[in-house]
Structures are given as structure tokens and as C-alpha cells.
Amino acid sequence: MSDAGTARKPNPLPKLLAGIGEKDASKILEVANSTKLLAGQMILTGGERATRLFLLKTGTVRYYRLTHEGDEVLLGWLVPGDVFGLGTLLGSTTAYLGSARTVTECELYVWEQERIRKLAETYPQLAENSIRIVLEYLSGLATRHVGLVSRSAEQRLADTLLSLGRRTGIVHSWGVDVNVTNEQLGELAHTTPFTASRLLRSWKQAGTVSKKRGKIVIHMPESLVMD
């Protein structure tokens, strides 16, 4: 969302509550249940009836689908402020369209269906914000999809690393720290950790990045722009 700013960002108003007065927003948050989950725990499973809406307060969540063979395909990487389980807002029953699991320890706001639907009646802005959010998810997935069919593994990896740097990177004078393993990066870019390792090596040799275990430092972001 915001471009390369300072290291730690404050907690801005989540998109779900955009355009709602601060007082009302607090009220909405107050009636939510708060949960804390450890790393690696299931939050919801694709296909289940959507009965709860989630807003991620802290931590990282993996949103994915299972293939027919049981492999996980990443659909999105959720960060604080992101909402999921939006089917809950609908009157008729819908199913969650993917599964969600915590990657790190997480804090979540949770609303039961009945409650959030009542809130949506009071605050129509909630519905409008939801449309915007789902459209953004759709656009993001479309971008990933187009990238997958039209760009090389190297281009996808570079794109992924750059966008990760923008979203979650920590800016220093010597570059941008990105905390991510080769495997995670590879998955986001739809490639294998092997290919990721090889490409990172070539970029390291060019001085574009440097690596530690579980961390990549981008020194020359402009070298990663591949048209």
C-alpha cells in the first residue's frame, strides 16, 4: 500500500473501517472477539460454511487452496489490517473459498455472522468497503495470474521481492531488509526454492542483494526492475 517509508508502521485504520468515524470504528472493534493464535494454527478451512469474519491485528496469515493431490497453492499472504472470511457478510450461506493458517503468532478480531450483518445494516459503509476489498483481492490475484503465464521465473521472483520489500521491508541506509526464506519467496513467485536460490546467487554476484538465513537485503532495487 504505502511506499517505502520508515521501519515500523503504526496501526492505521484497516480498510474494512475506512470512512467510518473513529468513534464508530472503535465501537465496531469493541464488539469483536479478540483471539491470539500460535504459529501454524488453522483459522478456517475452505469449503466450510462462512460464519465468521476475521480482521488480522498482528502477525501473518497464509491463505491457500488445496490441489486435488493435496498440495497447497498460495492465494495470498495476509498482513495486519487485512480482512478475510468476507462471505460471512452475505445473507445466504456461502463457503470460505480457501483455507487460512497462521504463519507467525497472530492476533485477530473475529465477528460472528449475525453480529457483523447487524453492524453492516447500521454502517452501510462496511458493505462498500467489502466490495472494494474483494475487488482488490481479485485484482491482486489477476496480477499474479498474468505474471504466471507471461513472465519468466526470474521476472516473477524479482517482482515478488520488490513488492515484498515495499510491503514488509525495513529500510536502512544500506538497503532494505526483507525477512523471508527462499522457500517462502519461491512460493510467492510460483517457483521452487532451488530456482530461487540460483537466482538470488546471481543477483548477489551482481551486488544487487545480499543474503542471510531467512533474510534478504536489497541494495539496488532498481536492478530488480525487469520489463
Partner DNA sequence: CCCCTTCCTTGCTCCAGAACAACGACGCCA
Partner DNA sequence: TGGCGTCGTTGTTCTGGAGCAAGGAAGGGG
Binding site for a copy of itself (CB under 8 A): 19, 65, 67-69, 71, 73, 75, 86-87, 89-92, 94, 97-98, 121, 124, 127-128, 130-132, 134-135, 137-139, 141-142, 144-146, 148-151, 190, 227
Output the smallest distance, CB 173 to a copy of itself, in A. 32
Binding partner of residue 2 among a copy of itself, DNA, none, CB cut-off 5 to 8 Å per kind = none
Q: What's the CA gap between 6 and 171, in Å, rounded?
A: 6
Nearest residue to 61 via CA among 87, 34, 80: 80
Q: Which of 65, 117, 132, 211 binds DNA (CB under 7 A)?
A: 211
Residues 6+ apart with CB under 8 A from 165: 4, 176, 178, 218, 221
Long-range contacts of 164-169, Cβ-Cβ distance < 8 Å, separation of 24 or more: 164/188, 165/4, 165/218, 165/221, 166/3, 166/4, 167/1, 167/79, 168/79, 169/4, 169/218
- Over the window 142 to 171, marking each residue x when it contacts DNA by CB under 7 A and - when it does not, the resulting string is ----------xxx-----------------
The three grid cell numbers given for residue 188, joined into one nine-digit string: 510467492
Query: Of these, 200, 209, 217, 224, which contacts DNA (CB under 7 A)?
Result: 200
- Interface with DNA: number of residues (CB under 7 A): 20
Give the nearer residue to DNA in terms of CB position, either 55 or 180.
180
